[in-house]
Amino acid sequence: MNVLLVEDDMGVGEFIAAELCAAGHDCVHKVDGEAALQEARSTRYDVLIIDRMLPRMDGLTLIKTLRNTGSNVPMLVLSALGEVDDRVKGLHSGADDYLVKPFSMEELLARLEVLHRRSNAPPSSSQTTLEVEDLRMDLLSQEVSRNNEILTLQPREYKLLEYLMRHAGQVVTRAMLLEHVWGYHFDPQTNVIDVHVSRLRQKIDKEFETPLLSTVRGAGYRLGSE
């Protein structure tokens, strides 16, 4: 993945760039908004990571400017401003995702992966079934089966599985699940998500030989192989 990182704090920026390289991605690091705009216009990137508070041109203006000139590259805002208002403003400006500092590198990587795959995947609005190996979900009849054996899921378990299947092979973090499956932005104090995932795992993996849903240490979960 070819990443353009715009972050004015050298320490944070170099750390992210190093981690991205370690994870096998190419990363170009810029420290101000105008330089980043030039760079984004001249070179094709897979994904942009943009800090909100930047010298010369702030992050949201940078995103708006790029979007106005027809750029459809996925962009992720990285910001210390984490209130609901800030998030809404960030997403309104044209960003695809919003991550609040401090964040874990696993969370950032997982989100970048999702953004990257989403932009590359063919539009899937007409898709009526999701399949991961022998696990199959019919989006119309809401029927889930594995190895042709029908599984009975609770509504929330169905939603959870649907999200995991749509992001099969990718790491999905707990925060991403909370946002997309439960629809709330909040900070769980305990491992409440883990309990839901383990219930789902009981249903889809217990009776079968190869487990599909695996826990990625320190990051989240992954359905299917990488």
> Where does this chain bind other proteins (CB under 8 A)?
82-85, 88, 102, 104, 156, 182-190, 192, 195-196, 199, 218
Rounded Cα gap, residues 54 and 8, in angstroms? 6
By beta-carbon proximity to other proteins, the closer residue of 41 and 101 is 101
- The least CB distance from residue 49 to other proteins, in Å, is 20
Q: Which of 209, 83, 57 is nearest to 135 (CA)?
A: 209
By beta-carbon proximity to other proteins, the closer residue of 41 and 92 is 92
By beta-carbon proximity to other proteins, the closer residue of 65 and 93 is 93
CB 172 within 8 A of CB 180: no
- The least CB distance from residue 201 to other proteins, in Å, is 12
By beta-carbon proximity to other proteins, the closer residue of 118 and 185 is 185
Rounded Cα gap, residues 160 and 157, in angstroms? 5
- The least CB distance from residue 191 to other proteins, in Å, is 8
- The least CB distance from residue 96 to other proteins, in Å, is 19
By beta-carbon proximity to other proteins, the closer residue of 168 and 181 is 181
- The least CB distance from residue 119 to other proteins, in Å, is 27
Q: What is the four-CA torsion angle of 85, 50, 99, 171, rounded to 10 degrees? A: 150
Please report, as a single letter, which amino acid is at residue 175: A
Query: Which tokens in the block code for residue 197?
Result: 């995932």
Please report, as a single letter, which amino acid is at residue 123: P
Cβ of 205: how many Cβ atoms within 10 Å? 17
CB 88 within 8 A of CB 43: no
Please report, as a single letter, which amino acid is at residue 172: V
